[in-house]
Structure 1
Amino acid sequence: MVDIGRLTPADRADWQVLFEGYNTFYERTLAPELFDRAWTAFQADTRMHALGAKVDGKLVGITHFLVHASTTAPDVCYLQDLFTAPEARGRGVARALIAAVTEWARDHECSRVYWSTHQDNTTARRLYDKVALNRGFILYQISL
């Protein structure tokens, strides 16, 4: 059974391990102050939000998301990060986290939830193709 809920101060160390795993997957290294900044924002739960997935009381998955305005619809929810511990994959953790963010967004009157992933992330894309519609957009970025 997967239990989804807000992250609590007791989850801080396990959250950071998972978030480090997420960033390693995308070949990024974050400065310690960015972990602290994100954690503080998640605890405030105003601008940025986070949920955790626990199996047998152990944090095994995380998701981070935020709401922003849209020019063509009511506010939208961007699911920015999603990561499941390797030992918990294939057990419905990511699906449960996506469902929880979707429910949260519906409760907050968002018009949609969306996210992006790398084109080579075939494992995650198998799930994403089952729970959401790939509208074919390509993401461009300018780093500052």
Structure 2
Amino acid sequence: MADDLRVRPLTRADHAQWLPLWDGYNAFYGRSGETALDPAVTAMTWSRIFDADEPVHGLVAEQDGRLLGLVHYLFHRSTTMIEPICYLQDLFTTEQARGKGVGRALIEAVYDAARAAGASRVYWQTHETNATAMKLYDQVADKSGFLVYRKPL
């Protein structure tokens, strides 16, 4: 990736470029068409990023004024440690930016933000079929060995 790639916090002025990235992320995970997120969820996610009382944060990768990727992360407590933990919840880059260091730069920026917040760990999950992303993840983190279980309520 060119040297002029910049990772920075999301701003309200980014909404028009953030939304297609957010929609692309959700489409990648099958949340589009009839299974698309309710627009209220998208609006609330955007709102939370800018609410000082919320633990949700957002960063974007920008080059030449164009957003190439996004990452959202949040901090939470744990019953097994004193320091907060950082959960990297959403990571997405444009197709053209893949394999060019944008995802890595976004992950590294989350690591920096987590260190600055005193977090002891950053973790995330991905779908077992996301082999392309896992090639990067295997380079920048360790697999925990844990599987995710969930039950819609």
The TM-score normalised by the length of structure 1 is 0.96
Indicate if the aligned counterparts of 1:61 and 1:82 stay in contact, CA closer than 8 A: yes
* Structure-1 residue corresponding to 2:74: 66
Does the alignment pair 1:42 with 2:49? Answer: yes
Q: CA deviation at 1:90?
A: 1.3
Is 1:33 aligned to residue 40 of structure 2?
Answer: yes
> How much does 1:13 deviate?
1.3
Q: Is the 8 A contact 2:55 2:76 kept in 1?
A: no
Displacement after TM superposition at 1:136 (Å): 1.3
92, 100, 103: which one aligns with 2:101: 92
C-alpha contact 1:2 1:92 (8 A) present in aligned 2: no
Of the three residues 51, 63, 68, the one matched with 2:59 is: 51
CA distance in 2, matches of 1:138, 1:35: 27
The Cα shift of 1:32 comes to 1.1
Alignment of 1:14-25 (within 5 A): 14-25=17-28
Contact 1:66–1:77 under 8 Å retained in 2? yes
Q: 1:111 aligns with which of 109, 112, 120?
A: 120
Residue type of the partner of 2:121? R
The answer on whether the counterparts of 2:72 and 2:91 sit within 8 Å (CA) in structure 1 is: yes
Structure 1 segments unaligned to the other structure (5+ residues): none
Tell me how far apart the structure 2 counterparts of residues 123 and 109 of structure 1 sit (CA, whole Å).
30
Q: Could you list the runs of 5+ residues in structure 2 that have no partner in the other structure?
A: none
Residue 127 of structure 1: aligned partner: 136
Report percent identity of matched pairs.
48
Aligned length: 144
Decide whether the 8 Å contact of 1:52 with 1:60 is kept in 2: yes
> What is the CA–CA distance in structure 1 between the aligned matches of 2:124 and 2:70, rounded to whole Å?
14
RMSD: 1.0
Give the Å deviation of 1:113: 0.1
3-state DSSP class of the match of 1:72? coil
Q: Which runs of 4+ in 1 moved over 3 A?
A: none
Q: TM-score, normalised by structure 2?
A: 0.91
Paired amino acid for 1:135: S
Secondary structure of 2:111's aligned partner: helix
